[in-house]
Chains A and B, each alone.
Chain A
Amino acid sequence: MTIADDGPAGGGHTELAWFLVFACWLLATVSALGALFFSEVMELPPCTLCWYQRIFMFPLVILLPLGLFPFDPRVVRYALPLAAIGWAISVFQVLLVWGVIPESIQPCTKGVPCSEVQIEWLGFVNIPFLSFLAFTTMVALLVAAHYRSKP
């Protein structure tokens, strides 16, 4: 199945770039809805670091589609910094959860400690790890879209 082009900037070499940005949006939206599911439906209180990661995840849900219709490859320029900063915060939290970074420099002791694991699947998949996976994939998709969209 091919995806037809709606925009004026369409063409063979941007077909894949569009799809990469679209995949990035899909991932951002699944992650944002997942985060909202954890906090609003399951009522798990988000820790401070989770809030910072949300700050860099949620805008992508709105920003990326604006670059998809019509396709504007420069959307990567605006989206990538958000994804990269979110990725850095997620790395920090994963290290905190794994105990690589000691508790003492943990920035959030009030409320929910960010090193506390509320959900764990298969013994190592927890919410911070999911966030790390999502940000890593999004950064990779955006970087790939950047190189693909160059004529």
Chain B
Amino acid sequence: MSRKSKRNEQPQPAAPATPARGGVSRTAVFATAVVALLAAFAVGAVAYRSHQSEAARQVAAKSASLLASTHAPLLGKAEAKVHIVEFLDPACETCAVMYPHVKKLMADNPGRIKLSVRHVPFHQGSEHVVRVLEAARAQDKYWETLEALFATQDQWTVNHRVYPERIWALLGGVGMDLERVRREMNAADIAARMEKDMADATALKVEKTPEYFVNGRPMPRFGLEELQGLVRDELKLAYR
């Protein structure tokens, strides 16, 4: 028995395939809904994607100028094709923990990675320490000072409280003229560089330290593995 003849045995009238009794067929309503929903999804997806790629282009273009800082201390060869820009606070514990890992990435890929440091003294009292770091650059002792500060961090930062006066006794091993640092640390050019760092950090929405940008790309979320992955990707792109 075919379904059609079986249906005809029912007391109800046969199903109309086209609109009947002034109404719309249920099948038509359902089919319209299916088509409308799938179309809405497809249009939404295309619109969202194009909006996202446009926004990403704008952010990348904007961040490129903010990250291409000539005033920041630079470690590594200038011609290295992978540029890590690190926003750090010398009083930040995670920055001290991450720093050796960044150095190791650079040591593992000699000549291919350069590192710029931008200062964001989010801890109270930390600006004083950043001034010392900036003044150390005049004596070419920036990286030694940064490493000495990280190594002794637990002695001058206790529970996120900075005791800036304690750092002087801890910087003896760096081998720079500390009196000269004291004289020069309040210079106007240092203040200007610090302001630029903070302004760029605000524009790039750097709210936590450390924050890394690898060739302009931020980490998808914070983590050592994410940083290593980002550096690996950029190395592959630059040196394939």
Contacts and interface: CB of A to CB of B under 8 A. Distances in A.
Nearest to A10: B12
B23 interface: yes
A40 B44 CA distance: 12
Nearest to B44: A37
Contacts of A1: 23-24
Interface of A: 1-11, 18, 22, 26, 29-30, 33, 36-37, 40-42, 65, 68-69, 71
A42 B12 contact: no
Contacts of B183: none
B37 interface: yes
A3 B24 contact: yes
B23 A6 contact: no
Contacts of A7: 15, 26
Interface of B: 7, 10, 12, 15-16, 19-27, 29-30, 33-34, 37-38, 40-41, 44-45, 48-49
A83 to B, nearest CB: 19
Contact of B48 (A4, A36, A42): A42
B41 A18 contact: no
Given A10-B12, A41-B44, A4 B30 contact: no
B6 to A, nearest CB: 9
Given A2-B24, A37-B48, A69-B26, 17 more contacts: A1-B24, A2-B22, A2-B23, A3-B29, A8-B7, A8-B10, A8-B12, A8-B15, A10-B12, A22-B29, A26-B33, A29-B34, A33-B40, A37-B41, A41-B48, A41-B49, A42-B48
A33 to B, nearest CB: 5
B25 A6 contact: yes
A18 B12 contact: no
A65 B37 CA distance: 15
Contacts of B12: 5, 8-11
